[in-house]
Amino acid sequence: MTTQNLALVTGANGHLGNNLVRHLISKGIPVRASVRNIKNREPFAGLDCEVVQADIADKASLIRALQGVEVFYAVGAVFRLWAKDPRKDIYDVNLLGARNIVEAAKEAGVKRIVYVSSIAALNYTTLPTRESYGYNPDRRNWYYNSKNDSEELAFKLARTLGVELVTVLPSAMIGSRAFGQLSVSYNILDLILKNKIPVETNITLNWIDVKDVADGCYLAATKGRNGERYILANERCTSIKDTTKIAQELFPARKIKSPGAVPKPLLYAMAWLMEVISKVSGKAPLLSVNDVAMFSGLQQDFDISKAKVELGFMPKSSVVAVKEAMLYLEAKDRV
């Protein structure tokens, strides 16, 4: 398939990837959607797009998928904050993926890459943070390290190989509908709605509508400057406590309780116990010691003026995004 303006979206069955496929189709752009498992076609039902198999860990599969492609939306990556072997299962995969993405694009003759990074790759030592402050100096989390180092590697390779590359850095993506499995961000809202967050962790999230991020990716492809980074988030973060207040106002009949305050040493003890249980069960802990150390009290506030001015990025407010996502989860529970 060789079509003018053809776009490839990797990770196209994921939360952002599938919304991006739908957004590009609505713009009249021919789309090739890639997934690791070609049998996973349910998220593409009724969509006018080509579905192919590709894996960021397999460069040959990316080269095949990129034939005839003009813009490569590199969405697919490992998005896990916890693993039994985080270096192998998170860090190494994302670094290899970054290398394969740029090298495959060069070999296939792709014009431009929109590389989806993360707000994990930002420097929070001065707030509100902005793209020009560089990368995150906090090296205590393997997922965060992977996003920092893979983005840096992608830029370095792109400059060396002469490939146009723009990166976008989204925050916690939610929305009025999910396609496929619920994302980590949705799961946090689901826990709030089900009264399963008993204590205040002082952890904040910067909520953003996934459709706004999908549009931001498209804008980065069409308006973004080569070699630049763009934050796709809202300006202010929201605490779990304030997110819970939104749920309480939306669903008074649920009698959702506000999380109770506990001393930080007790919070660490609870997180440690959850990690011990996770090592046995193999399931990610609700809260880890690293989460408490890195994120408790961290304000994820951003200066998004660069994305607004250069791309025309205008996201809906975090409160509206949270309300729409909660209403979707409530309706989903009733089905």
Contact 82, 285 (CB under 8 A): yes
pTM of the model: 0.95
Q: Count other C-beta atoms under 10 Å from residue 157's C-beta.
A: 19
Contact 71, 222 (CB under 8 A): no
pLDDT, residue 204, reads 95
Torsion of CA 91, 38, 168, 6, to 10 degrees: 140
Q: Is residue 253 part of a domain?
A: no
Q: Count other C-beta atoms under 10 Å from residue 195's C-beta.
A: 14
Q: Is residue 266 part of a domain?
A: no
Q: Is residue 67 part of a domain?
A: yes
Q: Is residue 306 part of a domain?
A: yes
Q: Is residue 127 part of a domain?
A: yes
Q: Report how many domains make up the chain.
A: 1
Residue-number span of the structural domain to which 305 is assigned:
7-181+206-234+299-315
pLDDT, residue 132, reads 97
pLDDT, residue 334, reads 57
Domain of 34: which CATH number? 3.40.50.720
DSSP tag of 115: E
pLDDT tens digit sequence for 52-84: 999 999 999 999 999 999 999 999 999 887 888
Q: Which two tokens stand for residue 326?
A: 């909660």
* CA of residue 107 relative to chain centroid, distance: 27
Contact 133, 123 (CB under 8 A): yes
Helix (H) or strand (E) holding 165: strand 164-170
**Bridge partners, 204 (sequence order):** 239
**Bridge partners, 35 (sequence order):** 53
Q: Is residue 201 part of a domain?
A: no
Residue 128, preceding peptide bond in cis (omega within 30° of 0): yes
pLDDT tens digit sequence for 147-182: 999 999 999 999 999 999 999 999 999 999 988 778
Q: Is residue 43 part of a domain?
A: yes
Q: Is residue 162 part of a domain?
A: yes
Residues of the chain with pLDDT under 50: 1-2, 335
**Length of the chain as a residue count:** 335
pLDDT, residue 3, reads 60
Q: Count other C-beta atoms under 10 Å from residue 312's C-beta.
A: 12
Q: Classify each residue of 238-265 as buried b or exposed e, where b means 16 or more C-beta atoms within 10 Å of its C-beta.
A: bbbbebbebbeeeeeeeebeebeeeeee
Contact 116, 171 (CB under 8 A): no
